[in-house]
Amino acid sequence: MGNVQSRKKEERRILLLLGIVIIGLLGVATRLIFIQGVEAKKYDTLALKQRLRRIELAPHRGTIYDRDGQELAVSVQRETIYATPYLIKNPLHVASKLSPILGVSEEILYKKLTRECGFVYLARKVNQEKAEAVKALEIEGIGFLKENKRYYPCNSVAAQVVGFVGVDNKGLTGLELYYDDLLRGRPGELIVEKDPWGRAIPGGILQLLPPTDGNSITLTLDRDIQFKTEETLKKGVEKFHAKSGLAIVTNPKTGEIYAMANYPSFDLNNFSKTSSEVIRNRAVTDIYEPGSTVKAIIASAALEERLFTPKNIFYLPSTIKVSNKVIKEAHPRPPRNFTFTQIITESSNVGIVTIGLKLGREKIYEYLSAFGLTEKSRIDFPGESKGYVPPPDKWYGTTIANIPFGQGLSATPLQMIQAISIIANDGLKVRPHLLSSIISSQGKVIKTFSRDSGEKVLSSKTTRQMRGILEQAVNMGTGKTARIPGYRVAGKTGTAQKVKKYNRGYESGKYIASFVGFVPAQDPQLIILVVIDEPQDAIWGSVAAAPIFKEIAEFSLRHLRIAP
């Protein structure tokens, strides 16, 4: 009886165990059917992803040319060194071999060589000498790619204007940034099916999507005028121990910029060691109080409103009091008669305040706005600033005394040269620009810059009168040092106290000297602005800035073959 019960218990255990096994097998079978049937596509995709390697193919970045087709920025081919970490047998030994060649610490290389991945960059865009040295080591798991590197043949010429790119060939500053979409092109892609050791599988997937190379651009810049402008500016800044300087050379009729120079400058091929202060294109980004160059705008407004003629005579005291402020001349003088023309040619503060009081604050603001001092010029360049002219409802008692001689308002150098260009261009305000044309990767011109027709700001009569006045300012007035033998030159000097940071008064003993002029005066083909920041010993625009204008203008006239 006991044996029978024991056998029955054992049979039940076997049946239970068999049932569990059958249920387990059914579960496994169900899961296999689910994986192989329902989720087959999903796992096929995952397996394929593990085998596929996607390699981005960088496009060729377009070239930047000057107006005569001289190269300012080009792309050259370099070797990039990479590693497949799981193929590196002795990472520590390999790191010690590569470190002295690549100039990278062993610790950094070791971390890269031991990453859990199939691809890691060791050095991007190295020179041929380094690449050959690494190739000679014949290390398994080390590979090489061809990549384009940006190279600037003229080094520091137009550095702040041209700008530079990063290691990924994307524009970071200047025109490289502004026209990045045009220059960069679209990357391609190579898809390769590889085994776990990184080797291509014979007969496996191989797809190629070729990159689309970037367009090239031609600028309005003239490399030779740019170089001469930078050279002359450097000499002037160093002569007067100034903090910095800038100069702009443009065609007043078309808005084409032939040169835009900043000093100090830097080498585009070694930009990583340069401060952001030097990299900035201050001609476009920085504002300053322009001083007496604004007198040309106020005088133009008075003539346009027919309040005065160039021959009107004023009896001017040696000082003038407006509200609680006494306005003096830059150089003391006794009371005497001035013509309207002499007020500008001799840069009389008392005289221009007298004219400003007659104009009134509403008209002054209206003309400063019309001349472009309350808005950006819309130049094709990143980071443009605009100055500040207080609206009439924010003027206090002495504002109308300050603004006519260029204090209490601010502008960028680009705004000022655009404003004075109106006088040189028969009263038309045109947009300054740097782009001349776009060239496809096949070498065809696909677009040229079409300049605007210009906005009429002054009558032809007023501009003729003002050109005559500004010509006398050079022949007989404060701008004598800008005279060029054989050419009629017109221009205006400017000397302004430097504003403290956050607009809290003026820096003691610190000035900005400037000169803006155009030539030939009767038919202007060039307009040049020179701004010198904190010149020492000689603070006047006639001494620190006008001679720089003269030297740049003389070269540019010869270079562009503009007849005397």
71-83 and 216-219 beta bridge pairing: unpaired
Q: Which of 543, 258, 278 is CA-nearest to residue 417?
A: 258
Residue 99 within a domain: yes
What is the residue range of 92's domain? Answer: 59-187
216-219 and 64-65 beta bridge pairing: parallel
Last residue of a domain, one of 187, 212, 236: 187
142 near 89, Cβ under 8 Å? no
Same domain? For 316 and 360 the reply is yes
**527 vs 515: CA distance, rounded Å:** 11
506-519 and 526-533 beta bridge pairing: antiparallel
Residue 6 within a domain: no
**CATH number assigned to the domain comprising residue 141:** 3.90.1310.10
Instruction: Note the pLDDT tens digit of each residue in 115-171.
Output: 877 788 898 888 888 888 998 888 888 888 887 889 999 999 999 999 999 988 899
426 HSE (CA, 13 A, CB side): 8
**CATH number assigned to the domain comprising residue 545:** 3.40.710.10
Last residue of a domain, one of 164, 187, 210: 187
Same domain? For 82 and 153 the reply is yes
Last residue of a domain, one of 134, 159, 187: 187
Cα–Cα–Cα angle for 236, 239, 244, rounded to 5 degrees = 55
Which token pair is 208? 């190629």
For the chain, what is the domain count?
2
Residue 512 within a domain: yes
Which token pair is 74? 């080009």
Active site residue 440: no
Strand segments (E) across 152-199? 188-193
**183 vs 215: CA distance, rounded Å:** 5
Lowest mean pLDDT across 36-50, 174-188, 279-293: 36-50
Same domain? For 374 and 274 the reply is yes
**341 vs 436: CA distance, rounded Å:** 38
Same domain? For 401 and 459 the reply is yes
Same domain? For 382 and 496 the reply is yes
Same domain? For 282 and 352 the reply is yes
Which token pair is 112? 């890269």
Instruction: Note the pLDDT tens digit of each residue in 483-523.
Output: 999 999 999 999 999 988 766 688 888 999 999 999 999 99
Residue 205 within a domain: no
HEC states along 349-394?
A: HHHHHHHHHHHCHHHHHHHHHHCCCCCCCCCCCCCCCCCECCCHHH
Same domain? For 376 and 430 the reply is yes
Same domain? For 458 and 537 the reply is yes
Q: Which of 391, 306, 396, 402 is CA-nearest to residue 353?
A: 402
Residue 20 within a domain: no
Same domain? For 355 and 427 the reply is yes
The larger pLDDT score, comparing residue 476 to residue 132, is at 476
CA dihedral 98, 104, 110, 114 (to 10 degrees): -90
Strand segments (E) across 24-70? 52-57, 64-65
Q: Where are the alpha helices (DSSP H) in 163-294?
A: 174-178, 180-184, 223-239, 276-279, 282-285
Residue 287 within a domain: yes
Same domain? For 312 and 392 the reply is yes
Predicted local distance difference test score (pLDDT) of residue 205: 59
Residue 210 within a domain: no
**356 vs 468: CA distance, rounded Å:** 21
pLDDT at position 250 over 60: yes
Same domain? For 389 and 244 the reply is yes
Percent of the chain with pLDDT over 90: 66
Which token pair is 316? 């001017």
Residue 369 within a domain: yes
Same domain? For 249 and 389 the reply is yes
Which of 75, 216, 265, 292 is catalytic? The answer is 292
